[in-house]
Structure 1
Amino acid sequence: MNPRSLARQLPLRLSAGAFLLNSGVSKVDADEATAGQLHGFATGTYPFFGKLDAERFTRLLSRVELALAGALLLPVVPAAAAGAGLTAFSLGTLGLYLRTPGMRQEGSLRWTEQGLPLAKDVWMLGIGVSLLVDGLLQCGRRRR
């Protein structure tokens, strides 16, 4: 990775990576009640998660967050790859925000107090798309 690209991407990668690292670590040893809450919330929007038990779902979620954190924090992972992963993950969390009753004010995209923890994930979507576009542009420049 060239130094200019790294300098441009580093604040994005560090902020999202640190956030996901903390989130993933906090779920590694989640108790049964926490696992049940996370699983129940996710299956309300994404019913296919119902095939997993709550503890397995939470372990999987933790591993995904930790893998994404690693991809973002390690600059050897191409920006397009890290950005694609972050974009996909944040679209999933924003899907929870958009589809779960009570997260948004009636007839609006504006969040409620309950929706704020998910609504703020829009910044992760912005970072993911930025890294993805930047990485794809870099690939295009290298081919010329």
Structure 2
Amino acid sequence: MKLRNVPLRLATGAYVLHSGWEKWHGNEAQATGLHGMASGAFPAFKPMKPTDFLRMLSVGEIALGSALLAPFVPAAVVGIGLTGFSGALVTMYLRTDGLHRPGTVWPTSQGTAISKDVWMLGIGLSLIADGASRRAHE
């Protein structure tokens, strides 16, 4: 792991791992809320039980957060995972009415917390680029 990636991976990995851990201990109301928002943006999730969705999301976040924190996992690999995950969050933000101002990408007060996930997208793309540039030099 390159020293320049340590702050990115530590901050993002700890945040995602903690989020997954909290969801693992989530309740029915949390499961219903998250499932409703996700299935509104991604209809493929509608048939799932909210508690199963929450558990699946939790496991994914725990795995991604752990991979970001593991120094032996290449930057490009964790970058691909983080880009996919954050890309889905940004897509959900853009597909959910009320989270952004109509006709723009700018958040409403209800969408600010989710719109900030764009930083993870930038970090994921940076890790992919770093991994690609490393391979080009080798």
TM-score, normalised with respect to structure 1: 0.93
Q: Deviations over 1:30-88 (max 9, x none)?
A: 11111011111100010101121111110000011111101110110000000000000
| Aligned residue pairs, count | 138
Instruction: State the match for 1:95 in structure 2.
Output: 91
* Correspondent of 2:81 among 85, 88, 105: 85
Instruction: State the match for 2:62 in structure 1.
Output: 66
* Correspondent of 1:125 among 121, 128, 135: 121
1:1-144 residue pairs with structure 2 within 5 A?
1=1, 6-142=2-138
**Within 2, Cα distance between the matches of 1:38 and 1:106?**
22
Displacement over 3 Å in runs of 4+: none
**Within 1, Cα distance between the matches of 2:36 and 2:105?**
23
**Within 1, Cα distance between the matches of 2:25 and 2:9?**
25
Paired letter, 1:36: T
For structure 2, the residue ranges without an aligned partner over 5 or more in a row are: none
Q: Structure 1 residue 140: deviation in Å?
A: 2.1
Aligned residue for 1:102, secondary structure, equals: coil
**Within 2, Cα distance between the matches of 1:32 and 1:118?**
21
Q: CA RMSD in A?
A: 0.9
**Within 2, Cα distance between the matches of 1:47 and 1:82?**
27
Aligned residue for 1:51, secondary structure, equals: coil
Aligned residue for 2:113, secondary structure, equals: helix
**Within 2, Cα distance between the matches of 1:66 and 1:141?**
32
**Within 2, Cα distance between the matches of 1:51 and 1:107?**
30
For structure 1, the residue ranges without an aligned partner over 5 or more in a row are: none
Paired letter, 2:133: L
What percent identity do the matched residue pairs reach? 47
